[in-house]
A and B are shown apart, each in its own frame.
Chain A
Amino acid sequence: MGVTKEGVEETLKAKLTPTHLVVIDTSGGCGASFDIEIASSNFEGKRLLERHRLVNAALAEELKDIHALSIRKALTPKQWEEQHPAPENLATA
């Protein structure tokens, strides 16, 4: 049984209740490979290493079959908003 993008998304949603989540399937035929961008309040007050550990722990089962995993961004909801202002904010800037 392989790991799907949907499976990764569901697991992360269930375990880390992200306010923002993008999972990109980057497998080029060599097996399950994903890029992840995630914002979750679970990351508050945690260093990057600890944040990645949370993601890795959430995906412990999937990681047995995942060939490559890249956690591109692990942000708090506040950090995410700072980096991605809503369109109306851009318009008034």
Chain B
Amino acid sequence: SEDPSVTLFREYLKIDTVHPKPDYDAAVRFLERVGTDLGLASQKVEVCQGRVVLVLTWQGTNPRLRSILLNSHTDVVPVFEEHWTYPPFEAVKDSQGNIYARGAQDMKCVSIQYLEAIRRLKAEGKSFSRTIHLTFVPDEEVGGHKGMEMFVQRPEFRALNVGFALDEGLASPSDTFSVFYGEKSPWWIKVKCVGSPGHGSRFISNTAAEKLHKVINSFLTFRESEKQRLKSDSSLTLGDVTSLNLTMLEG
């Protein structure tokens, strides 16, 4: 028979919170039900139309102290279902105990682990001085602009009186666990090259294409040097170098 924590995890994985139209209502209903069963206080903050942050709270014995924030996002990225062995929203578990689903790693596992850890501690009769808040936020996979970015500006967030937060990390193929103490900053650059017109039969001077050529070369040279830097030093990880990708060309 299956561990009830695993069953709950699989139940959450079956909720279709996939972009571009995540079923956030179903996720919030499910998580609120689990939280209420655990005796946690529940609060919903609609940061903008249709975007609700669910806050579940286990009150500490000294509520004046700063709290522990356990954050997770409820949305997941899209799938190309034809490339999946099992349907990505059925949470199939194979004979080795591998559970297949979009969100199994990123990051529905963590949401349920937070809740199940609290279930265990409560069952053991534990209580702690600091309050623990769980926040379940929408929109992380599209930049968090209608999720955490707005929520941190709300009075309801300030009222949580956060001292320390946990949020998602990444899987690690080895025995070690990856622990992230900072993150890279995304930087979207748009370069516009303008040049002189003229008849296509001539060697027009000062063309946009020549300028673009220089820009692309310099980007790709930098990209290659960062790639080699990562490759040549085994102590470096992807977070230690600057990655660069040219994703769109228009004109």
- A and B interact: no
Q: B-contacting residues of A (Cβ < 8 Å)? A: none
Q: A-contacting residues of B (Cβ < 8 Å)? A: none
